[in-house]
Amino acid sequence: MDKALYEKISDWFDAHSEDMVKDIARLVSIGSVSDPEAAEKPFGAECKRCLEEMLKIGEEHGFYTENYEYYVGSIGTKEKNWDNMIGFWNHLDVVPVGNDWDYEPFSPVRKEHFLIGRGAQDNKGPAVGILYMMQCLRELQIPMKHELCLFVGCDEERGMSDLDYYLEHYPAPQLSMIADSGFPVCYGEKGIIEGRMITKETLPEGLLELGGGSASNMIPDSAYAVLAYTPELEAEVQQRLEKESGEGKCSMQITEQGICITAHGTSKHSAFPEGSRNAIHELGKFAASLLHIDGKLRALFETIAYLSEEYYGKNFDMEYSDEVSGKTTCAATILKKEKNYIALTFNIRYAITDRADKICRKLEECASRFSMKWELERDSAPNYFPKEHPAVNLLTGLYNEVTGEHRESFVMGGGTYARKLPRAFAYGVGGMRESEEDIRVKKELLREGHGGAHEPDEGLNLRLLLKAMKIYTLSVIAMNDCEL
């Protein structure tokens, strides 16, 4: 590490940190949840507005921008040398808001050294950070061997159709780095299966409405069922709630339709479900024990509870783990009533050496046992960037040298643009070690289960982002010694 150069980079970012925060807040104030069904194509008016704002910010910083039909945008130079380009990829779309926020999700607020708002951490903060990295290199007049270009997409959270479109119509960089993971280098990503189990038989009487979850890649923090009203059922539910008071897992409301039971959970990213509480499971478990509902309906809730009980496929006989990528995970994330049938969506992150056909066969067998059918909606194969590539050791070693840590490159369950781009891997900017001060401030500002990506009150640690971008800038300079 060139310490003198690192000090120059550090001074530059310190001088520009407030401007960087203001630019991030401009993006976080836009509710860019991707919606392909919206009238404004391809992903809705808010995604369109967010991309326009990001490109405007790029132009304000003196870069040339291009808009690829509102699927993807780029910020860099006008004339592009694709064969000698490092592309940096971020996304501007965000997951749905969900429930239980203490702050306004799209009115970003700065508290101490945290910026709170949906998308601040995932992935608008890092997107702006990469733009400032490119400006830093330009203003410090550091000669670069490779051309640099920032790309931003609008449909990463919902399935990456933005990148599918881009790659069908435009060239890819020679090497791509995605700032949407933890440090250091993430050289592999688990496969992703999304699909639904749907009941074959029409619903038993007494169930009027049912729902839970808002996105396939989020553990649901809320689920509800509206049951036909009877005084006996109201009394039973009330008695159960009084008995379980303090747990706060379920609540009841009498509506014009009937008795609405709402289950409360804790949301997390479905790729990292550990420590969360699945509201769909809580609802199924609570309703399955009610004596004053139809027996067939009680059996249906038992099935829902069973299918959403755990996160590793044990109940489907598909547990699997390998040394490269760890355990296959399987989470029930969306529950819907569709006419007279029930659909339960699963988000599965399968280990690199696991097999999608085997997993789907196990899901089909399980669905059949409960008079349901399995429908596969998406299978995104695992990504593996050669661990032996010189960039992996170079960037991992540099990160450890700057931070004094001893981390290794890794494989994760989360999905980034790296799984679709050729010659791509993820590198930062998250997962940096928090200080005691960070932990103290977070406890004061955010409740447990709040503050993370895909969680309510998503928060960006501005101190760590600033440190991360200093490391990132030094890392990109180090890539001068690396053949793409």
What would the pLDDT profile of 201-223 be if each residue is shown by its tens digit? Answer: 888 889 999 999 989 999 999 99
Sign of CA pseudo-dihedral 13, 16, 21, 25? negative
Q: Is the domain of 186 the same as that of 210?
A: no
CATH number, domain at 461?
Answer: 3.40.630.10
| Boundary (domain end) residue, out of 380, 405, 422 | 380
Q: What is the pLDDT of residues 146-193, one digit of tens each?
A: 999 999 999 999 989 999 999 999 999 999 999 999 999 999 999 999
**Based on the domain organization, do 62 and 98 belong to the same domain?**
yes
Q: What one-character-per-residue DSSP string does 326-377 give?
A: EE-EEEEEEEEEETTEEEEEEEEEE-TTS-HHHHHHHHHHHHHHTTEEEEEE
State whether 178 and 202 are in the same domain.
Answer: no
Burial of 29 (0-12, 13-18, 19+ CB in 10 A): middle
Q: Do 207 and 129 sit in the same domain of this protein?
A: no
**pLDDT value at residue 450:** 94
- Copy the structure tokens of residue 169: 């119509």
Per-residue DSSP letter, 314 = G
Instruction: Report which of 442, 437, 429 is spatially closest to residue 473, judged by C-alpha positions.
Output: 429
Q: Measured between alpha carbons, how far is 161 from 94 in angstroms, rounded to an integer?
A: 14
* pLDDT of res. 318: 96
Angle at alpha carbon of residue 321, lines to 316 and 325, rounded to 5°: 130
What global pTM score does this model have?
0.85
Q: Number of structural domains, the chain?
A: 2
DSSP code of residue 434: P
**Confidence check: pLDDT of 339 > 90:** no
Domain that holds residue 318: 192-380
Q: What is the Cα–Cα distance from 51 to 67, expressed in whole angstroms?
A: 8
**Helix axis angle, 3-28 relative to 125-139, nearest 10°?**
140
Query: What is the per-residue pLDDT for 414?
Result: 87
Residue ending a domain, choose from 329, 364, 380: 380
- What's 121's DSSP letter? I
pLDDT of amino acid 324 = 87
Q: How much is the average pLDDT of 73-94?
A: 97
Instruction: Report the percentage of the chain scoring pLDDT > 90.
Output: 93
| CA dihedral over 263, 267, 271, 276, signed as positive or negative | negative
Mark whether 288 and 399 lie in a shared domain: no
Convert the pLDDT of each residue in 258-306 to its tens digit.
999 999 999 999 999 999 999 999 999 999 999 999 999 999 999 999 9
Inform me whether the pLDDT recorded for 247 exceeds 80.
no
d(CA 57, CA 78): 16
Judge if 245 and 307 occupy the same domain: yes
Identify the domain boundary among 332, 355, 380.
Answer: 380
Cα–Cα distance for residue pair 21/189, rounded to 1 Å: 30
262 with 248, same domain? yes
Average pLDDT over residues 444-451: 94
Q: Please, what is the average pLDDT of the chain? A: 96
Query: Helices 125-139 & 462-478, crossing angle to 10 degrees?
Result: 50
Q: In the predicted model, what is the mean pLDDT of residues 238-266? A: 91
**Residue 425: C-alpha distances to residues 352, 409, 417 (Å):** 15, 11, 9
Query: Considering the chain, what percentage of its residues have pLDDT values greater than 70?
Result: 100
Instruction: Tell me, yes or no, whether 463 and 447 share the same domain.
Output: yes
- pLDDT surpassing 90 at residue 423: yes
Torsion angles phi and psi, residue 21, rounded to 5: -65, -40
* Judgement on whether residues 436 and 342 belong to the same structural domain of the protein: no
Tokens 């200093």: give the residue: 470
| Residue 375 belongs to domain with CATH number | 3.30.70.360
pLDDT at res. 1: 80
The answer on 355 and 312 residing in a single domain is: yes
Q: Helices (H) and strands (E) in the chain — how many of each?
A: 11, 24
In angstroms, the CA 166 to CA 400 distance is 34
Residue showing tokens 């101490």:
112
Q: Average pLDDT for residues 125-146, to the nearest whole number?
A: 98
pLDDT tens, residue by residue, 5-44:
999 999 999 999 999 999 999 999 999 999 999 999 999 9
Amino acid making up residue 208: L
Closest CA to 251 of 241, 259, 243: 241
Whether residues 201 and 338 fall in one domain? yes
Residue 325, pLDDT above cutoff 80: yes
